[in-house]
Amino acid sequence: MYQTLVLVHVLSAILGVGPTFFGHVLFRKEQSLAELRNSLMMFKRLEIFPKIGGTLAVITGLILYYMGSWGTFVQLWLLGTLILYIAIQILMIGFVGPLSKKLGTYLSDPTTSKLDALPAKYQKTFSKINKIFWTVSTMGVLIFVLMILKPAGL
């Protein structure tokens, strides 16, 4: 039972954080507006994974903690990963989701189909999304480092 739970935990964490690493590909600067429209549609499909996988990873992680002998809950690797993961969820669901929806709504308007570039207002939105993806990706890497190395201290 324990190994199955570990497997579910690791897979759900990968599925939960994994799509955030695609953000750099989907929201790359060197793409046409038609490509950006496609990227937004792909992102919309991918954003379900962090919601389901992330929730499952947190639940299974807490169950694993209570089932095992991992020591105090306030260890750097344990509490740090939980805080980072919650921050990733907030950034992805609370910021990237609404910003990408705003951008997608604008680009789906038939009057924008002939544009060659994003207007400054939407370029700023696009840049915000990109910066958040870099932040989230860095936090995702830190989570994996903490979970693998399980450093003691603090």
Predicted TM-score of the model (pTM):
0.83
Q: What is the pLDDT of residues 47-59, one digit of tens each?
A: 888 788 888 988 9
What is the per-residue pLDDT for 78?
A: 84
Nearby residues of 116 by Cβ (< 8 Å), 6 or more positions away = 33
- State the virtual CA torsion across 122, 128, 134, 139 in degrees, nearest 10: -140
What is the per-residue pLDDT for 98?
A: 93
